[in-house]
Structure 1
C-alpha cells in the first residue's frame, strides 16, 4: 500500500443542501410589500430574489458554528451567560439585486442634493433619532457572503457577524439549504461571462455586542487572551437594529484603473445604494414594528442614510480617492439623502478634499458614461494591500 501523509480531522465539511427548516416568504409574496403600487415599477426587474424569515427560528434551526476558539468563547458568553435569543416576532429580510446603471443622472443635481459628511470614527450603529430615516451600514463583503465568519480573522465583515451574531445563522442557512437568494454578492453575465456585482441587502438584523477592536482587530484577534476578550466585549442589553448593504470591491489591481474597473466599482455602489432607497418602506416597517410611527409613503416618505468607510481599501488595495468619489457619485445618482464616511482618523484629509472637488465637477455631467470616462482620465493608481 502506498505511503500517505497523516490524515487530519481538521477539515470543515458543509452539510449537503436540503429544504429549509424554517418558514420562508419569497419574492412573489414580498414584491408588492417592497415596491409600492404605482411607484418604483421600473426598478422591479432589478430585484433578483428576496426571502423573509423569523429571526428566532433561523437562529435556533441554523445555529452558528464558530471554529476559532476565541469566537467560540464570545459566542458562549452571548448565549450561555447572557442567554441571547432573537425575539420570536422579529423578521429578517434578505434581498439580492441585479446590476444596473442609469443612462442619465437625475435632474437638478447639486452638491447639496445629498448630504455628505466625513467623521473620524468607526461605525457606532446609533440611531439618528428621526423615525422617518432608514439607516444602512456597508458590509465590506467577500464575494461569498460571510464565508470566513467562523475562522480566526476579525476584519470588518467578520466583526459585523460576531456583533450581529444571527448573521452567522444566516450563513449556515445559505450553505445548508436550497434557497433562492444564495450567498454570492457577484454573478456572471450570461452574454459576456464577466463577473458582475449582485449586492445583497439585509434588513432588520440586530447587534447584540460591541467589540472594542483596538487590541483585537484583524489577525490579532486569534492571539488575544480570554481576559482581553472580556475587556473588549460589551453585551448590549438593548440590541441595536442594523440594516446592511453587502458589496465586494475589486481587489489587488495594478497601475491605473481601467474603464471596466471604474464601471464595476460605480455600478456596485449605485446598485447597493439604490436598492437601499427602494427598500426604505419595507425596511422601515420591519425596523419599527413595535414603535408608533406615521405611515407616510411615496417617493419622499422616508430618508435613506448610508454609513460607509474605507470600502475596498486596506487589504484590497484600492485607491482612497477612487473609493470616496465613486461612492459619493453613486449616492448622488441614486438620490440618497445622506451618506456618512467613517474614516477612523483625519489621516487622509488630502484624499477626501481631492475627491470632493472631483465630484463637484462631475455632478455637472449629465451622461453617466461620459462621467465614467472622466474618472478614468484621472489616472488614479491602485495602492498596495496592507494585508489586514
Structure 2
C-alpha cells in the first residue's frame, strides 16, 4: 500500500494488501535508488536498547558497522547525551523503536574474508579487534559523493532458552510491527501520496542474541504485512535461497494466512506459539 495521509493501528490481518517479498543474498549494500524514484527505503539498525552505545568499541557487528559507515550517527548520540537525552529503543520493558531519516553514508567497509588484504577471516564481530590497522584501511572505501540512508532502530529480545513463550512471540511481533509502522508513517509525512515504502531487513536478533532464525524471519514477514509495507527485502547473508527464510515464507503463506480474509492477532500468536520454536545459541558476536 503506497503512502496515504492516515495512520492506523492494525489489530487484524487482511488479505487485501499483500507485501511484496524479495530475498537477496548478501548483506546491506545501501545502493541508492534512481533519482526519479518515488520509493522510500529503510534499513534496520539491529540495536542495543541504548542506541549506538558501543560504536567506539572493539566489536564490529551490524550496529557498529552502520555507525562506522554513517559517522553522523555517533555524532547524533553524543549531541543528545550532551543534552541529557537518551536514545532508548526499549523503555520500561516496552519496545520504542527509533526512526532516523537522511543520514549520510560516508564510506563502505568490506567485512568479507580476504587474505590478500590482511583479513583472512573477515572483519565481522571479534575479528575486527584482531585486524591490523592497515587491513581495516584497505577494507574501507570512502564515498566522496555520500549516499543517504533512512534507519529504523529496534532491539530484539536479548537471549532466552527453551521454547518461545507466547508473550515473547507477542513482544517480538509488536516490536517489528511498531518499527515498520513508524517507518511507513514517517515516509508518508515526508513524501507524496504515491510513494512506495520498502524495508530492508535480515536475521534480526539471530547472532549474539541467539534468536531462532525461522521465527524471527516469520515475525518480520508478518509485521510487514500488518504494517502494509509495500516491499520487504530480506538479506540472507552469504547464503542464496536460505532454507530458514524459505521455511518462514511457507509457514506464513500456508499456515497463517492461507484462505483467510481477516485473522485476529491473538489467534495468529497462539498458532505460532503452538509450533514450539526453540531459542538458538549466541554466536558470540
TM norm structure 2 = 0.89
After TM superposition, the structure 1 = structure 2 runs for residues 260-275 of structure 1, keeping only pairs within 5 Å, are 260-275=167-182
Higher relative contact order (CA 8 A, sep 6+): 2
Larger radius of gyration: 1
1:247-326 aligned at under 5 Å gives the runs 247-284=154-191, 296-297=192-193, 301-326=194-219
Q: Which residue of 2 aligns with 1:88?
A: none
User: Which of 28, 53, 75 is the matching residue for 1:147?
Assistant: 53
For these two proteins, the number of residue pairs brought into alignment is 269
CA contact (8 A) 1:204 1:283 kept: no
2:116 is the alignment partner of 1:210: no
Q: Deviations over 1:132-159 (max 9, x none)?
A: 1000001000000000111111110011
* Paired residues of 2:10 and 2:227 also in contact (CA < 8 A): no
* Shift in Å, 1:107: 5.2
Tell me whether 1:120 sits opposite 2:25 in the alignment: yes
Distance 1:302 1:243 in 2: 15
Alignment of 1:328 onto 2:216: no
Aligned to 1:198: 96
Q: Name the SS for the 2:200 alignment partner.
A: strand
- 3-state SS of the aligned residue for 1:213? coil
For the residues of structure 2 that align with 1:138 and 1:341, how far apart are their CA atoms? 11
Alpha-carbon distance in 2 for matches of 1:278, 1:347: 32
Matched residue SS, 1:273:
helix
SS in 2 for 1:316: coil
Deviations 1:299-347 (A, max 9, x none): xx21100011111001110000001100000000100000011111227
Q: Structure 2: which 5+ runs fail to align? A: 113-121
Residue deviations 1:13-38 (CA, integer Å, cap 9, x gap):
xxxxxxxxxxxxxxxxxxxxxx98xx
SS in 2 for 1:244: strand
More divergent stretch after superposition (218-227 vs 134-143): 218-227
Separation (CA, whole Å) in 2 of partners of 1:270 and 1:136? 14
Q: CA RMSD in A?
A: 1.8
Whole-angstrom distance in 1 between the partners of 2:101 and 2:80: 16
2:70 is aligned with 1:173: no
Q: How far apart are 1:178 and its partner, in Å? A: 3.5
The answer as to 2:261 corresponding to 1:383 is: no
Structure 2 CA distance for aligned equivalents of residues 281 and 313 of structure 1: 30
Residue 103 (1) aligns with residue 11 (2): yes
* Structure 1 unaligned spans of 5+: 1-34, 44-100, 189-194, 285-295
Q: 169-178 vs 204-213, which deviates more? A: 169-178
Show the counterpart of 2:263: 366
Cα offset, 1:283, TM superposition: 4.1
CA distance in 1, matches of 2:20, 2:218: 14
Contact 1:325 1:356 in 2 (8 A): yes
Provide, for residues 93-135 of structure 1, a one-character-per-residue CA deviation record: whole Å limited to 9, x for no partner. xxxxxxxx632123524xxx11111111111101232521000
